[in-house]
Every structure is written in C-alpha cells, then in structure tokens.
C-alpha cells in the first residue's frame, strides 16, 4: 500500500511536465569530434563504435523522417565514407552539430527525387 502514494506523486509529476514540440538533441557531438571518431574506422577501436553507432542512428532518423531516400544495399561503411568526404570538404563547418553535418551530407547524396520510393 505504501507504493500507491509514490505512484500518485510520479503520475502527478509526469502530468505537470509540459510537452515539447521542438527538436531535442540528446547528444553533444560537434563536427570536430565526429571527424575525429570517424577518421580511423577500425573494428578494434572505441571510435569505430561511436562513429558507426552515431551515424547509423542519425541515418535511420533521416530515413524514417523521409528526409533522405537511401538506396537499397548501401552499407554503413559507404555512409561513413560519404560523411567523411563532406566533413573533409567543409572544415569551416566543424563547429556545427554532428547531426546537422550528417544531414547535409546524406541529403546531398540521397535526395528524395520525384517518383523515387522513400
């Protein structure tokens, strides 16, 4: 019976939290860190895990949000190569958030053209 008041307080706290409509970025990955972690893509480094995990998550969010139309069969390593090429060509933008830079790279590589299946 003692759990009931605690659950009631938790429910009240959740109701009192205002809904958010703006995008909330849960990570703080600037482009400078992204280029650093994705520079050496080797399965034995922590950087590899950070790079592949982060780029896969951002790529999936862009596909699900229908911002990019990734062709079937494109591998994670190909996506990382596209992102690295974009980062290397734009060092003046490394201060921007990694999500923004990945979005730029992939929207350029995989635009959703008329008639193309998303």
Dist. CA 112–CA 71, nearest whole Å: 10
Instruction: Give the model's pLDDT for residue 13.
Output: 45
Residue 22 — very low, low, confident or very high, per pLDDT cuts 50/70/90? low
Residue 12 — very low, low, confident or very high, per pLDDT cuts 50/70/90? very low
Domain boundaries, the chain: 28-109
Instruction: Give the model's pLDDT for residue 28.
Output: 79
28-109: in CATH 1.10.890.40: yes
Residue 109 pLDDT exceeds 70: yes
Tens of pLDDT, residues 54-82: 999 999 999 999 999 999 999 999 999 99
Buried b (16+ CB within 10 A) or exposed e, 76-100: eeebbebbbebbeeeeeebeeebbe
Compute the mean pLDDT over every residue in the chain, rounded to the nearest whole number: 80
Dist. CA 1–CA 112, nearest whole Å: 56
């Amino acid at each position: 019976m003692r759990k009931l008041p605690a659950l009631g307080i938790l429910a009240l706290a959740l109701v009192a939290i205002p809904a958010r409509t703006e995008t909330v970025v849960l990570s703080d990955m600037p482009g400078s860190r992204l280029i650093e972690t994705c520079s050496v893509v080797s399965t034995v480094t922590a950087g590899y895990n950070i790079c592949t995990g982060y780029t896969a998550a951002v790529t999936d969010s862009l596909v699900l949000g229908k911002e990019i139309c990734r062709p079937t069969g494109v591998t994670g390593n190909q996506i990382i190569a596209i992102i690295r090429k974009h980062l290397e060509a734009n060092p003046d933008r490394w201060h921007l958030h990694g999500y923004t830079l990945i979005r730029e790279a992939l929207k350029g590589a995989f635009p959703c053209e008329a008639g193309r299946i998303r």
